[in-house]
């Protein structure tokens, strides 16, 4: 059996890769766990994931936090905000099919956009929190 964090992460990748509107905004299906060398923005990275016990007296569960990063080389913040809007549309409160778990809820907790001082690229960060139960 896989962990709830891995199940959720795999589901997120499938959803993001399947969306043609997001693919158009990214100029291809540039959604990564680890960014290959010499890939130019825009792209999305499914980043750090944490899991905490969220069990009740009757159900086993986990609270999973997933960080998603958006990188843009656009001179304005528009592209980052458009991509964040796509990600929220695809993930926030949307049903997902997990392999070994049931997703109770997935909610956007926060998003921000800032300029990376080293590269000069815009960097959007989104944090989603999912609550899962073990499927029987």
Tens digit of each residue's pLDDT (9 = 90 or more) over 64-101: 999 999 999 987 899 999 999 999 999 999 999 898 89
pTM value? 0.93
Domains of the chain: 4-66+78-134 (3.30.2000.30)
Hey, what are 36's tokens? 């290959």
- The whole-number pLDDT of residue 1 equals 58
* Local confidence band at 110 (pLDDT 50, 70, 90 cut-offs): very high
Does 136 score more than 90 pLDDT?
A: no
Q: Which residue(s) pair with 64 in the sheet?
A: 51, 130
Mark 13-29 as b/e (b = at least 16 C-beta within 10 Å). Answer: eebbeebeebbebbeee
Distance CA 78, CA 100 (A): 38
Distance CA 115, CA 25 (A): 19
């Amino acid at each position: 059996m896989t962990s709830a964090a891995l199940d959720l992460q795999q589901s997120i990748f499938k959803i993001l890769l399947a969306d043609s509107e997001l693919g158009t905004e990214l100029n291809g299906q540039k959604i990564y766990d680890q960014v290959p060398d010499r890939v130019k923005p825009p792209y999305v990275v499914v980043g750090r994931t944490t899991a905490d016990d969220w069990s009740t007296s009757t159900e086993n569960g986990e609270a999973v936090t997933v960080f998603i990063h958006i990188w843009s080389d656009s001179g304005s913040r528009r592209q980052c905000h458009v991509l964040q809007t796509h990600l929220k549309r695809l993930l926030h409160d949307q049903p997902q099919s997990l392999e070994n778990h049931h997703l109770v809820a997935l909610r956007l907790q926060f998003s921000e956009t800032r300029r990376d001082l080293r590269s000069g690229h815009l960097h959007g960060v989104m944090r989603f929190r999912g609550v899962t139960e073990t499927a029987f």
